[in-house]
Amino acid sequence: MSKTINMKTFINIVIAIVASVSMVSCFNNNKPNYQYFPNMYAPVGYEAYGDYEIFPNQQEAMTPPEHTVPRGFTPYEYENSTAGLVLAKAELMNPYPVTEENLTVGNQLFTIYCAVCHGIKGDGKGILVTREKFLGIPSYADPGRVIVMGGIYHVETYGLNAMGSYASQTNEKERWQIAMHVMDLKAALKGEPGILETSKAGATADSTEVGMTPAGANKASELEPK
Ligand code: HEC
């Protein structure tokens, strides 16, 4: 083994040093470097908010067509008016079974959203009323009001005069669960059995007091979930 480096090896080493120095010196920190497998960095598909000429508004994400219904959302057919409320009271029926579980959830949600005004018992004496911050809250046992499931759902969805809508805080099922609890509160205020018992006995809590008109009453009993 010779201890001296021969000329050929020396030239190779010099070439390697010059090459690496020149490559490093050409590197520009302000520009992206060469990408190895560029698809790992840049998506092949269009980006939602990317800028592309082929789309109508130069953007891949477009507004959905008219009448699009989001997944899991059920359109509500009754209009936000007195007539809509009367119609909902007459024919809109609770599609969910009255169960202990649904009533428990309804109770919790009622305490969160409604009790400040309507009171834990539904007697219209919530904390805002006792502190005289809010007036004109009816008791659910008010004989002048027809408090039925369909009406409660309608009022939760749209609100009613001074009462706001709860459609953004609650989903469809939750509004029905609250409605079940409200029917329970009303029964308790009137000293009647709760809706769990009445629904077990065959009649739903609604059937006794629907009847805005005879036609409405008939329609409601036909729609009743079995
Ligand atoms: C800010 C106070 C307030 C809150 C909170 C509130 N309400 Fe009301 N609610 C009212 C007022 C006021 C009325 C009377 C509206 C009217 O008849 O002009 C009313 C009326 C009602 C009625 C009677 C509707 C009818 O057919 O006559 C029901 C049922 C009802 N509310 C349910 C609820 C439920 C369920 C919640 C919770 C999701 C709730 N309210 C939360 C103030 C409130």
65-124 pLDDT, tens digit each: 988 888 877 788 899 999 999 999 999 999 999 999 999 999 999 999 999 999 999 999
What are the structure tokens assigned to 224, written together? Answer: 């009743």
Q: Is pLDDT larger for residue 205 or for residue 188?
A: 188
Task: Look at the block and give the residue holding tokens 């539904």.
Answer: 122
Asked whether 125 and 142 are in contact (CB, 8 A), the reply is no
Protein residue whose Cα sits closest to atom 6 of ligand 1? 114
SS3 of residue 165 by DSSP: coil
Q: List the alpha helices (DSSP H) in 50-169.
A: 82-91, 100-113, 115-118, 127-130, 149-158
pLDDT value for 35: 76
Report CA(160)–ligand 1 centroid distance (Å).
7
pLDDT classification of 43: cutoffs 50, 70, 90: confident
Report CA(209)–ligand 1 centroid distance (Å).
19
For the residues of 104-115, what is the DSSP string, one character each?
A: HHHHHHHHHHTH
The mean pLDDT of the chain is 84
Neighbours of 104 (CB within 10 A): 13
Average pLDDT over residues 166-194: 93
pLDDT value for 16: 94
Protein residue whose Cα sits closest to atom 5 of ligand 1? 114
Protein residue whose Cα sits closest to atom 43 of ligand 1? 163
pLDDT classification of 50: cutoffs 50, 70, 90: confident
Report CA(170)–ligand 1 centroid distance (Å).
15
pLDDT value for 221: 42
Report CA(108)–ligand 1 centroid distance (Å).
17
Asked whether 123 and 139 are in contact (CB, 8 A), the reply is yes
Report CA(218)–ligand 1 centroid distance (Å).
27
Which residues approach ligand 1 with their CB closer than 6 A?
Answer: 113-114, 116-118, 134, 136-138, 145, 147, 151-152, 155-156, 160-163, 166, 178, 182
Q: What percentage of the chain reaches a pLDDT higher than 90?
A: 50
pLDDT classification of 200: cutoffs 50, 70, 90: confident
pLDDT value for 28: 75
Protein residue whose Cα sits closest to atom 8 of ligand 1? 163
27 has pLDDT over 70: no
Domains present along the chain, CATH in parentheses: 82-223 (1.10.760.10)
Protein residue whose Cα sits closest to atom 14 of ligand 1? 137
For the CA of 169, the nearest atom of ligand 1: 38
17 has pLDDT over 90: yes
Report CA(25)–ligand 1 centroid distance (Å).
74
136-162 pLDDT, tens digit each: 899 999 888 989 999 999 999 999 999
